C-alpha cells in the first residue's frame, strides 16, 4: 500500500451532505482529508464523477448459511462457503459484515443446527488465515425455544469478534409466525396431523424453557458489553419487555406499532433492505417504505441479499425523499454507531478508510472499487 491514495473528481457523500465534485485522501489506513473541486492531481485516481461512499456495515445477513446449504439437504464444504460469502458481500459494497448464525432452531435437527459447528469452525479458520477481504464479526441469533440454545451459545460468548446477539422466537403462534398458516407452508412434507403434533410439542417446550433461555442469553451478553437485539417485535408490549431487559435494538419489527414504540423510546430499528427493494415484506409484515415514511427507520441490513443494501439506500433517496447522506447513513454510520464501531461508517477525517467507488448505470448503483483500511480489496 502506498503512503497516500487520492480519489479525485467524485461525488463525495459525507455525513453532512454531498460534495458534487470532491476528493478523498487516504493515508495510513485512515481518511486524512476530504476536499472540494474536480481537479485530478498527478497520481490520483480519477473517479470520473462516480460516487464515493463509506463502506457499508451489515448487521444481519443469512448469506453464510445459504452458502453452507445452497440447496435443501445439500451441504457445501464450509471453508469454500465462507470465502464465497466473503467475496459476495464485498461485491455488494459491504466492508464490515456481522455474519448472522442461528443458534438453535424451532426444528431441532434442522439444517441450521446441522451446519452450525462447521460454520463456526470454518469462520474462525478463515479469520485466522487472513482469507477474508471484508471485515467479519459475529451476530449470534439465539432461538429461545431450542432446548440446547444456552449450551450452544455459551462457548462463543467470549469470542472477541462477537458484536451482536439477538433473541428470537420462531415458534408457531409467536411474533413473525402469529399466523400459523404461513409457518405451515414451510413443512409441506408433513401431514396435517404430524404438523399439529409438531406445533403442540414446540409450543410446550418454548413455554417451559423460552423465558429462562432468553433471560440467560441477555444477561451473558450484557455482562460482556455486547449489544442485544429483540427479533420480530410485533406489539408495544413486546418492545416494553425488551426495554425492561436492557435491549437496545429492535430487529425486523413486524408492525408499525412495534417500530414506533421502539424508535420512540430510543431503540434503533433495523429493517431488511430486500423488503424495500421488492416493494414489501415477503411474509406479510410491515413494509420498510412505511417505516421510512413514518420516520422510524434507523438501519437497513441485507437479511438474505447482500446486494440489496446499496440499492435500498439509493431507493430511499430516489423515491422516498431522503437526502442522500441520510439514506447512506442507514447502511453505514447508523449501524456502526449502534454496535460501538465509532471509527467506521463515514467519510470523515480520522475515520478508517473503508471507501466505495459506486457508479449508477440506468439508476442501478454498481460497486466499481472497494478499499478497506486504505487497501484496495476490489
245-300 tens-digit pLDDT: 999 999 999 999 999 999 999 999 999 999 999 998 877 789 999 999 999 999 99
Q: What's the pLDDT score for residue 176?
A: 57
Asked whether the whole model's pTM tops 0.85, one would answer: yes
Query: In whole angstroms, what is the distance from residue 351 CA to residue 144 CA?
Result: 37
Count Cα neighbours of 135 within 13 Å in the Cβ-side half-sphere.
24
Q: Does the domain at residues 56-344 carry the CATH identifier 3.20.20.140?
A: yes
Cell reading at 95: 466492508
Reported confidence tier of residue 193, pLDDT bands at 50, 70, 90: confident
Q: What's the pLDDT score for residue 181?
A: 58
Cell reading at 201: 410439542
Q: What's the pLDDT score for residue 183?
A: 61
Indicate whether 73 pLDDT > 90: no
Reported confidence tier of residue 174, pLDDT bands at 50, 70, 90: low
Domains 4-52+361-376 and 56-344 share a fold: no
Domain boundaries, the chain: 4-52+361-376, 56-344
Over residues 114-139, the pLDDT tens digits come to 889 999 999 999 999 999 999 999 99
Mean pLDDT of the chain: 92
Reported confidence tier of residue 212, pLDDT bands at 50, 70, 90: very high
Indicate whether 239 pLDDT > 80: yes
Q: What's the pLDDT score for residue 182?
A: 60
Reported confidence tier of residue 186, pLDDT bands at 50, 70, 90: low
Phi, psi of 223 (to 5 degrees): -65, -25
Average pLDDT, integer, range 214-237:
96
Indicate whether 322 pLDDT > 70: yes
Q: What's the pLDDT score for residue 205?
A: 81
Region class of 9: left (phi > 0), else alpha (psi between -120 and 50), else beta = left
Reported confidence tier of residue 1, pLDDT bands at 50, 70, 90: very low
Reported confidence tier of residue 3, pLDDT bands at 50, 70, 90: confident
List Cβ neighbours of 272 (8 Å cut-off, separation of 6 or more).
Answer: 60, 252, 281, 288, 300, 301, 302, 303, 304, 308
Fold of 4-52+361-376: Urease, subunit C; domain 1 (2.30.40)
Amino acid at each position: 500500500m502506498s503512503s497516500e491514495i487520492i480519489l479525485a473528481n467524485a461525488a463525495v457523500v459525507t455525513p453532512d451532505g454531498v460534495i458534487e465534485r470532491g476528493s478523498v485522501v487516504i493515508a495510513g489506513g485512515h481518511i486524512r482529508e476530504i476536499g472540494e473541486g474536480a481537479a485530478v492531481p498527478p497520481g490520483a485516481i480519477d473517479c470520473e464523477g462516480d460516487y464515493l461512499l463509506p463502506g457499508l456495515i451489515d448487521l444481519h445477513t443469512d448469506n453464510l448459511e445459504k452458502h453452507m446449504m445452497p440447496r435443501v439437504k445439500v451441504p457445501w464444504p464450509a471453508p469454500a462457503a465462507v470465502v464465497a460469502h466473503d467475496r459476495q458481500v464485498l461485491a455488494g459494497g459491504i466492508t464490515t459484515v456481522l455474519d448472522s448464525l442461528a443458534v438453535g432452531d424451532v426444528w431441532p435437527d434442522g439444517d441450521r443446527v446441522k451446519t452450525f459447528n462447521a460454520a463456526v469452525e470454518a469462520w474462525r479458520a478463515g479469520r485466522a488465515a487472513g482469507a477474508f477481504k471484508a471485515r467479519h464479526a459475529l451476530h449470534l441469533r439465539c432461538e429461545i425455544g431450542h432446548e440446547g440454545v444456552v449450551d450452544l451459545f455459551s462457548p462463543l460468548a467470549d469470542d472477541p469478534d462477537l458484536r451482536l446477539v439477538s433473541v428470537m422466537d420462531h415458534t408457531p403462534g409467536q411474533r413473525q409466525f402469529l399466523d400459523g398458516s404461513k409457518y405451515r407452508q414451510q413443512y409441506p412434507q408433513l401431514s396435517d396431523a404430524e404438523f399439529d403434533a409438531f406445533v403442540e410439542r414446540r409450543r410446550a417446550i418454548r413455554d417451559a424453557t423460552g423465558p429462562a433461555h432468553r433471560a440467560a442469553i441477555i444477561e451473558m451478553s450484557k455482562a460482556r458489553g455486547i449489544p442485544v437485539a429483540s427479533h420480530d417485535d410485533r406489539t408495544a408490549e413486546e418492545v416494553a419487555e425488551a426495554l425492561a431487559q436492557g435491549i437496545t435494538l429492535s430487529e425486523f419489527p413486524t408492525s408499525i406499532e412495534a417500530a414506533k414504540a421502539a424508535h420512540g423510546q430510543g431503540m434503533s430499528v433495523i429493517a431488511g433492505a430486500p423488503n424495500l427493494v421488492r416493494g414489501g415484506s415477503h411474509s406479510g409484515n410491515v413494509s420498510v417504505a412505511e417505516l421510512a415514511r413514518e420516520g422510524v427507520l434507523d438501519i437497513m441490513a441485507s437479511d438474505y441479499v447482500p446486494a440489496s443494501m446499496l440499492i435500498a439506500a439509493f431507493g430511499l433517496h430516489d423515491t422516498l425523499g431522503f437526502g442522500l447522506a441520510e439514506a447512506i447513513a442507514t447502511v453505514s454510520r447508523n449501524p456502526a454507531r449502534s454496535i460501538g464501531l465509532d471509527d467506521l461508517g463515514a467519510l470523515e477525517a480520522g475515520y478508517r478508510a473503508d471507501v466505495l467507488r459506486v457508479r449508477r448505470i440506468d439508476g442501478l448503483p454498481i460497486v466499481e472499487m472497494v478499499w478497506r483500511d486504505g487497501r484496495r480489496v476490489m
